[in-house]
Structure 1
Amino acid sequence: MNLKINNIDFQVVLSNYSIQKWISLILIFHFSLFTFHSAQAQELEIYQNRALEHNPSIQALRSSVGIAEEKINETNTLPDTEFGLGYFVSEPETRTGAQKLRLSVRQMIPWFGTIQSRRDYAGSMVNVEEINLEIARRKLNLEVSQVYFQLYELQEKKEVLQQNIDLLEVYRTMALNSVEVGKASAVEVLRLKMRQNELIEKMRNLQLQIESLETQFSNLLNSEEKLEIKVQDTLVIPFEESIDGNLSLHPELQRYDRFSESILRSEELNQLESSPKFGVGLDYVSVQERLDMMIPDNGKDIIMPMVSFSVPIFNKKFKSVSRQNDLRLEQIDSERASTLNDLESRLQTTLNERSSARISFETQLENLSQAGDAEDLLLKQYETGTIDFDDVLDIQEIQLKIQMNLVEAVRTWFTKNAIVQYLTVNN
């Protein structure tokens, strides 16, 4: 596929650094570059979904949401019902007989609307826990993406190194042929071999880094067994960069809005709890029948309905809570403004870094084209028997550096794009 970037045509093939070579009079090394398309990496989405399902931090926050929801049921209750039992040791005498024992029951009832206000406040706290869960989910997706793209970078670099090792083997064969005809020295063959060994060492170190990242990746997914992590071999930088979401809808900002709502509900509850409370009750007194005379209602038990009121005359507590709520609202407004400034700065910085990665990628593509032209000139010199293997090593090192920079640019672009997706939310 032919793509045009900055008026330069490139034949682009992603993650396939194939070598086509001829060892005779001409050897051509064909460098593969990167392919662009707009498809999202399905493997990454699968890993993100698995992490969201099994990650212990997410599971803990889901439990927090469940606890907050259960607290709604907790608020739908009245104060404890009071029961009393009294036995008269010294029985008081009344006209209708002696009082033996006393039973009582009391039920206090909060002011009208207090219970519903408690439910509203508990519901607002559920909203806070849900937004905390959403923030954690987005952060986990971002962390999974970052590790995933790091794995992509290391595996691509490992493949680039292998292709360059193979290329050096081709050059070493050329050098051996030149030694046989007296057009090169054995030192040049040894230098090519030492360069191969250096690249092999780098490959081994990359493999160690890959193993460490795979362990970190498995831990994010909370996998007890070793996962066979499949990293997409084709990553695509879209031709156009855009912001699909809205920063103002970010959960980190929404969390302050939810906190403000919960404080307003708390203040409503505080005002209702500062209102009078009333109670209803019933007293029952058992009366012993008199035997010394017959009178009306002799031994008749006493039943006395009761109504009571609880008035918070000394209400400094409620005034203090109201003042605290006002201060909390001011604090939340300030923290929200600070967080918004921080998110805006992070977003702008990330957008610039993403654009810089694209510029770097395009520059490296152009540089790789120039390096390929230089290599072609060296190969033509080999046909005439005048090849300088010092120049061969120099151009190979330049090409390797460019290829590594290309991989890093792709990884950087996708990592920064993942941060942009974290910072912005679709309407």
Structure 2
Amino acid sequence: MKRFILLTLFLCLGLISLSIESSSAAEKESLPDIEKRLSGDTELSDLLTYAYLSNPSIVSSKKSWQIFIENYRIGKSYPDPQLMTTYFPSPIETRLGPQDWNLTLSQAFPFPGTLGLKGELLESDVQISKLKLDKTVKDIVTAVSSSFYELVYIQKAVEIAMANQKLNQELIQISQNAYAKDRALFYDVSKAQAQTAQIQYDLLLLDELESTEKTNLNTLLNRSPDAKIGRAKGLPTGDVVYSLDEIYNLAMLHQEDILIADETVKRSSASIRLTRFENLPSFKLGLFYAGIGDPDLANPPRDAGDDALGIQFGMNLPLWFSRNDSQKQKALAVKEMATADRAAMVNTTKARISRLWFRLQNSKRLIVLYEKELIPQGLTSIQTAETWFREGEAGFADFLELQATAYNFQLSLERAKADYGKALVQLEQLAGVILDRKKNTPLGDNS
């Protein structure tokens, strides 16, 4: 049964590997289509697909996985048989005649059970390589998504800044007219001009940040640094439907670093069992054939000139028990190290989840605060201050101050949305599932 499971597993792995190779041409053909879409409104799904098909780290991890699959096939095989022939320029005289040449064919066999245990080790190597591929995909997904959310923020901030710049130009005109009518101070005019200059600086800074973020995205997609990326289409902020404890449990099931540690412990156990076979012999079976010539005798024996045929059997003698004991102690130490590494990884993962959970909840609170309270209140206050100013019941400085506050509130809202998206995608990569809906579909599954 175990052999059947192993064969089924690696047949599936082989089919997946073949499908990856056979579909590579189709994948490359789809890249130009995505390339065209990236120059217009850019969606996160297109960026992720492009990165999966072209990111060098992912391509390298795929090939590494394939290498370990081939190593399994190689390691499970018997060693090649040996064929040796000897020719004697001066034949050796025997009772039956001169021995002109001989031929030896031999095959080595490990102790029964040794190949099976080596197969377990190689199977673990394949699984670890697959998990590393999934981890690489998740890391790239996180990097691309985080950069995308940052780009969304920057482009939204540019819109807000440009709208406020236009409004500030109007405020400058209003302040100058009010100053001319002694309804505003020169300080008010200067403050309006200073706010406009600050917004112009913000626009310059945002333009450079947008260029930098697009370069970062292009490098993740293995594109030219100055390749065109259009306007990033923002995504709605979904609510997480899992509790913190549920996310902890999901991470234990899906987090690649923990799964790699589990597989390493399993591999170490198989390695310990394999060391027991180091004290057992391996065998060699052979077939010997010697070509015998005719003897130069007056009365040769009846079987003179008959070729010789023999069967060989050999075995190695594992006498150096101290070396074998050291191999066992090494395997035990590796298992203990892997167990400790797993415990450390579990603790580190839970700490990261806790920090990301706080960032996520805090960003969500800020989004609600700005959307539901601060921005509506700020806009209402601006309208009230403008009315009072026109009626001569309030100063122009109050109007300017409220306008600057509303501008900062708008930027802070977009910043909170971007931070929420970043924290969510990082939390999803640790949990291994989409967190805004109850669907246990592991992320980064390449099959």
1:425 aligns with 2:426: no
Matched-pair contact (CA < 8 Å) for 2:389–2:399: no
| Structure 1 equivalent of residue 282 of structure 2 | 277
| Structure 1 equivalent of residue 367 of structure 2 | 361
| Structure 2 equivalent of residue 29 of structure 1 | none
| Structure 2 equivalent of residue 144 of structure 1 | 144
| Structure 2 equivalent of residue 15 of structure 1 | none
Instruction: Name stretches of at least 5 consecutive residues in structure 2 with no aligned partner.
Output: 1-40, 434-439, 441-447
**Which one-letter code corresponds to 1:110 in the other structure?**
P
Deviations 1:341-386 (A, max 9, x none): 1111111121112111222233334223332333233222233245
| Structure 1 equivalent of residue 264 of structure 2 | 259
Aligned length: 387
**Which one-letter code corresponds to 2:367 in the other structure?**
F
Q: Which moved more, 1:122-131 or 1:189-198?
A: 189-198
Secondary structure of 2:43's counterpart equals helix
1:375 aligns with 2:376: no
**Which one-letter code corresponds to 2:134 in the other structure?**
E
Q: In structure 2, what is the Cα distance between the partners aligned to 1:70 and 1:164?
A: 61
More helix by share: 2
- % identical equivalent positions: 20
Matched-pair contact (CA < 8 Å) for 2:42–2:230: no
TM-score (norm 1): 0.83
1:311 aligns with 2:350: no
Cα 1:368/1:295, change in 2 over 3 Å: closer
Residues 40-51 of structure 1: matches in 2 within 5 Å? 43-51=43-51
Larger Rg belongs to: 1
1:333 aligns with 2:339: yes
Deviations 1:251-286 (A, max 9, x none): 110010111222233334433354222222122222
Residues 12-411 of structure 1: matches in 2 within 5 Å? 43-88=43-88, 91-179=91-179, 181-184=181-184, 188-224=188-224, 226-233=227-234, 235-236=236-237, 238=239, 242=243, 245=247, 246-249=250-253, 250-290=255-295, 291-365=297-371, 366-411=373-418
Give 1:240 shift.
6.4
RMSD (CA atoms): 2.6
Q: Which moved more, 1:208-217 or 1:273-282?
A: 273-282
| Structure 2 equivalent of residue 415 of structure 1 | 422
Instruction: Name stretches of at least 5 consecutive residues in structure 1 with no aligned partner.
Output: 1-40
Q: In structure 2, what is the Cα distance between the partners aligned to 1:204 and 1:172?
A: 20
Cα 1:397/1:335, change in 2 over 3 Å: same
Secondary structure of 1:281's counterpart equals strand
**Which one-letter code corresponds to 2:257 in the other structure?**
E
Q: In structure 1, what is the Cα distance between the partners aligned to 2:251 and 2:142?
A: 16
Deviations 1:380-405 (A, max 9, x none): 22332455222222111211222222
Give 1:248 shift.
0.8
Matched-pair contact (CA < 8 Å) for 2:386–2:399: no
**Which one-letter code corresponds to 1:272 in the other structure?**
F
Q: Which moved more, 1:348-357 or 1:104-113?
A: 104-113
Cα 1:267/1:190, change in 2 over 3 Å: same
Q: Which moved more, 1:335-344 or 1:395-404?
A: 395-404
Q: In structure 1, what is the Cα distance between the partners aligned to 2:176 and 2:331?
A: 84
